[in-house]
Amino acid sequence: MKNILIIGSTGQIGSELAMHLRSLYGNEHVVAGYITGAEPKGELLESGPSAIADVVNAQSIADAVKKYNIDTIYNLAALLSVVAESKPRLAWKIGIDGLWNILEIAHENKCAVFTPSSIGSFGVDTPHDMTPQDTVQRPRTIYGVSKVTTELLSDWFFHKYGVDTRSVRFPGIISYVTPPGGGTTDYAVDIYYYAVRGERFTCPIKAGTRMDMMYMPDALHAAQMLMEADPTRLKHRNGFNIAAMSFDPEMIYKAIKAHKPEFEMVYDVDPLKQSIAESWPDMMDDTCARQEWDWEHKFGLEDMTTDMLDKLTKKLL
């Protein structure tokens, strides 16, 4: 039986991944790791164990791993792209020094480790259309630099010490549960909140700027599927391109307007977000994930929009 530690369990992905994995492996087998000031609450707190697991405090992670006999770590600690640009040293400390701590503990305790990479690991020189699995990765953001390093360091621990490291390059993740904070793709979450509240949305990304996006249930499924994949089939490890949908602001606006004809969107482009968005793929080629571990997405823009509007209406109104 798996015993899982989720680092960053109160964040955007962590909070839902913890509940998803608890429903699959049993509540007592999934420990919600948190840092002081971001303690689990409500269902996450009540449904299973939780422990302090701060990536910059290696001892706290080692203690949680030993106490709960952990064999799998999902490492979701990171600053997102926009906020990382204003706090580059902190982004590195959490993303890379923190990852090093986790990988050493994983080596000592024979744990498998999932650490997400991102579309942010690509840059302006990368082919943007059907971005290949193996291609140029020369990002110019600190977020991107740390994601490329995440992939390489995870590979190194696998080749050097046999640590079972795996990762995916997540697109922008859209969910109605825990809002993201400080990302370039956040607009694609925010727009639904404005639509449901009946407010006009000001979009910080230019019309025509496409990025890969994914609905949260697919993202959770991808992480779990990859960690369960047969290792003998994996030609790649860190990190797999995974894709579900690609759209620009006009396309998501139209998808929402089909449900809410009165909804309005205007533009006030944020130069930092725009330059980051333009450096990222329009659409990744995820053939390797589909071939090596049978990755399949379920949600496209239309069905995600129907579900988001429905769930957010219940949540907000």
Catalytic residue among 68, 143, 194, 215: 143
Q: How far is the CB of 144 from ligand AKB (least distance, A)?
A: 9
Taking CB under 6 A as the criterion, the residue among 184, 209, 241, 279 binding ligand AKB is: 184
Q: How far is the CB of 120 from ligand AKB (least distance, A)?
A: 5
Q: Is 143 a catalytic residue?
A: yes
Q: How far is the CB of 127 from ligand AKB (least distance, A)?
A: 18
119 scored as a contact of ligand AKB (CB under 6 A): yes
80 scored as a contact of ligand AKB (CB under 6 A): yes
Q: How far is the CB of 59 from ligand AKB (least distance, A)?
A: 29
- Cα separation, 183 vs 38, whole angstroms: 19
Check if the beta carbon of residue 256 is closer than 8 Å to that of residue 309: yes
Residues between 244 and 303 with contacts to ligand AKB, criterion CB under 6 A: none
Q: Is the alpha carbon torsion for 75, 76, 81, 82 positive or negative?
A: negative
Taking CB under 6 A as the criterion, the residue among 60, 133, 150, 185 binding ligand AKB is: 185
Do the bridges between strand 165-166 and strand 201-203 make them parallel or antiparallel, or are there none, so unpaired? unpaired
- Cα separation, 78 vs 14, whole angstroms: 11
Taking CB under 6 A as the criterion, the residue among 40, 48, 98, 120 binding ligand AKB is: 120
Do the bridges between strand 172-174 and strand 129-131 make them parallel or antiparallel, or are there none, so unpaired? unpaired
The CA angle 113-142-99, to the nearest 5 degrees, is 20
81 scored as a contact of ligand AKB (CB under 6 A): yes
Dihedral of the CA atoms 22, 24, 25, 27 (nearest 10)?
30
List residues with catalytic annotation. Answer: 143
Q: Which residues bind ligand AKB (CB under 6 A)?
A: 80-81, 118-120, 170, 172, 180, 183-185
